[in-house]
């Protein structure tokens, strides 16, 4: 049975690996989330944030085709939207200002991302 702890949460997915993005979208949907995206670029993510007034959380890949996701993270911080990173980078690849943000290392199972996101949103 699916974990429904994300029921009715609007979750932004920013991921440029097609298969991972698709798997995340499917797992988040099974958990009851309304998935915003997935989108593969900083520009597309910023556009979605500006057009989506009620985001509850986000899953961000750090490296998007050579671009860093941090402008997206900055926008989410300003809006008070919690997020986590799913990345191949270790903590040294993340700016110190994001040292407190949960970082799941790739490869990771989409279910693990959903569980971590649900726990994070429950704590906020």
83-110 pLDDT, tens digit per residue, is 999 998 888 889 999 999 999 999 999 9
The pLDDT of residue 2 is above 50: no
36 lies in some domain? yes
Q: Of the candidates 123, 115, 110, 120, which has an alpha carbon nearest to the alpha carbon of residue 38?
A: 110
29-40 pLDDT, tens digit per residue, is 999 999 999 999
The pLDDT of residue 4 is above 70: no
28 lies in some domain? yes
Residue 101, token pair as written in the block:
């943000």
Domain count of the chain?
1
Domain range for 49 is 10-123
CATH of residue 117: 3.40.50.2300
């Amino acid at each position: 049975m699916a974990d429904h702890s994300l029921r009715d949460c609007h979750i932004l997915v920013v991921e440029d690996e097609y298969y991972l993005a698709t798997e995340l979208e499917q797992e988040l949907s099974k958990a009851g989330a309304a998935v915003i995206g997935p989108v593969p670029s900083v520009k597309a993510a910023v556009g979605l944030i500006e057009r989506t007034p009620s985001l509850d959380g986000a899953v961000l890949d750090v490296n998007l085709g050579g671009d860093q996701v941090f402008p997206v993270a900055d926008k989410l911080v300003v809006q008070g939207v919690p997020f986590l990173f799913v990345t191949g980078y270790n903590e040294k690849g993340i700016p110190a200002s994001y040292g407190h943000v949960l970082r799941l290392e790739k490869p990771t199972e989409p279910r693990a991302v959903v569980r971590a996101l649900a726990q994070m949103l429950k704590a906020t």
